[in-house]
Amino acid sequence: MANYAKTAVGKEGRVELHEKLGLTGAEISVNELPSGAGVPFVHSHKENEEIYGILAGKGKAVIDGETVELTAGDWLRIAPAAKRQFFAAEDSGITYLCIQVKENSLEHFTATDAVMG
C-alpha cells in the first residue's frame, strides 16, 4: 500500500476529497458556482472551522448577516458556529476550495511536525 493517494478534479461543480483521497484529518472540497448562482442553503458546524480559498472569479459570502466580498486570491476562515452562505457574482462565476478541520486541533505545523531525512 502506498503512503499517498492521488486523484484528478474536473468540472463537477463540487468535489469532496475525503473519500477520493482517504483523508483522515480534514475535509477538502473544490467548488464552482456559475455566474449568479449561490449555495442553496445557510449552514454552520458543530466543531469544524472552514477555510476558504478563492481560486478564480468573484462573489460574496454572507456570514452571520454580514456580506463579505470575495475575489481570486482571498482566503477566509469561518468559526464553526457562524451561519454562512456563498454566492457567485452576477457577472462572474467563482471557484473556491473549502478546507474543513476541527477547531483548535492544530498542535504541530510546518517545521515542528517535520521529520528530516
Boundaries of every domain in the chain:
14-105
Could you tell me which residue, 78 or 9, shows the higher pLDDT? 78
Quick one: pLDDT at residue 15?
86
- 8-66 pLDDT tens trace: 888 778 888 888 898 988 999 999 999 999 999 999 999 999 999 999 999 999 999 99
pTM confidence score:
0.88
Question: Highest-confidence range of 10-24, 69-83, 93-107, by mean pLDDT?
Answer: 69-83
Query: Is the separation of the CB atoms in 68 and 61 below 8 Å?
Result: yes
Quick one: pLDDT at residue 1?
58
| Terminal alpha carbon distance of the chain | 21
Distance CA 72, CA 58 (A): 6
CATH for the 14-105 domain, from 2.60.120.10, 3.40.50.9100, 3.40.1260.10, 3.90.850.10: 2.60.120.10
Assign residue 64 a region (left: φ > 0; alpha: ψ between -120 and 50; beta: otherwise).
left
Give me the mean pLDDT over the 81-102 stretch. 96
Is the pLDDT at 114 greater than 80? The verdict is: no
Distance CA 92, CA 58 (A): 6
Distance CA 51, CA 75 (A): 7
